[in-house]
Structure 1
Amino acid sequence: MLSVAEGVFLFVATSEAVLGVLGNTFIALVNCMDCARNKKLSKIGFILTGLAISRIGVIWIIILQGYVQLFVPHMVTSGNLTEIITFLWVIINHLSVWFATNLNILYFLKIANFSHSLFLWLKRRISSVFIFLLGCLLISWLLSFSQMMKIIKDSKMHQENTSWIHQRKNYFLINQSLSNLGILFFSMVALITCFLLIIFLWRHNRRMQSHVSGFRDLNTEVHMKVMTVLISFMILFIIHAVGIAIEVVCFTLPRNQLLFITGLTATCLYPCCHSIILILGNNQLKQASLKVLQHLKCCETERNLRDT
Structure 2
Amino acid sequence: MLSAIEHTLIFITVCESVLGVLGNGFIGVVNCIDCVKNKKFSTIGIILTGLAISRIFLIWIIVTDGFLKMYSPDMNVSSDLTNYISYLWVIIGQSSIWFATSLSIFYFLKIANFSHRIFLWLKGRLNRVLPLFVGFLLISWLLTFPQTVKIVNDYRFLKRNRTWQLNMSKSEFFMNQVFLNLGNIFFFTLSLITCFLLICSLWRHNRRMQMNVTGSRDSSTEAHIRTMKILLSFIILFILHFIGIAIEISYLTVPENKLLFISGMTTTIIYPWGHSFILILGNNKLKQASLRGLQQLKGYCLQFFTVMNKSNLSTVDINAIC
TM-score bracket relative to the smaller structure: over 0.9
| 2:261 is aligned with 1:260 | yes
Map Cα deviations across residues 85-129 of structure 1 (whole Å, 9 max, x no partner): 000000001100110011000000000111111111111121332
Residue identity in the other structure for 1:81 = L
C-alpha distance 278-294 of structure 1, shift in aligned 2 (>3 A): same
Q: Paired residue for 2:306? A: 305
Partners of 1:215 and 1:23 in 2: how far apart?
A: 35
Conserved in 2, the CA contact under 8 Å of 1:27 and 1:49? yes
Give the structure 2 partner of residue 277 of structure 1. 278
SS at match of 2:11: helix
Q: Do residues 123 (structure 1) and 123 (structure 2) align? A: yes
1:80 to 2:80 alignment: yes
Retained in 2: the 8 A contact 1:165–1:251? no
Alignment coverage as a number of residue pairs: 308
Change (3 A) 1:163 1:283: farther
Cα separation, 2, equivalents of 1:167 and 1:291: 60
- Report Cα offsets for 1:237-280 as digits up to 9, x if no partner: 00110000000011012511111111111001000110001001
**Cα separation, 1, equivalents of 2:125 and 2:245:** 34
Aligned CA-pair RMSD = 1.5
Structure 1 segments (4+ residues) deviating >3 Å:
155-159, 162-167
Task: Give distance in 1, aligned partners of 2:165 and 2:60.
Answer: 25
The residue number in structure 2 matching 1:10 is 10
Q: Helix, strand or coil: the match of 1:219?
A: helix
Offset of residue 163 of structure 1: 6.5
AA aligned opposite 1:48: L
Q: State which structure, 1 or 2, has the greater radius of gyration over its C-alpha atoms.
A: 2
Larger deviation: 130-139 or 234-243?
Answer: 130-139
Normalised by the size of structure 2, how large is the TM-score?
0.92
Measured after TM superposition, the shift of residue 166 of structure 1 is 5.6
Q: CA, structure 1 residues 212+143, in 2 after alignment: closer, same or farther (shift >3 Å)?
A: same
Q: Deviations over 1:131-172 (max 9, x none)?
A: 332111100000100101112233455553156446423333
Match of 1:33 in 2: 33
Where does 1:101-250 land on structure 2 (aligned, <5 Å)?
Answer: 101-158=101-158, 160-161=160-161, 164-165=164-165, 167-168=167-168, 169-250=170-251
In the aligned structure 1, how far is the partner of 2:73 from the partner of 2:156? Answer: 15
CA drift of 1:222 comes to 1.5
Gapped regions of structure 1 (runs ≥ 5): none
Verify the 8 A CA contact 2:54 2:96 in the aligned structure 1: yes
Cross-structure match for 1:50: 50
The share of aligned pairs that are identical, in percent, is 55
Counterpart amino acid of residue 275 in structure 1 = S
Query: C-alpha displacement at 1:235, in angstroms?
Result: 0.1
CA distance in 2, matches of 1:166, 1:141: 31
- The two structures have a TM-score, normalised by structure 1, of 0.96
Amino acid at match of 2:94: H
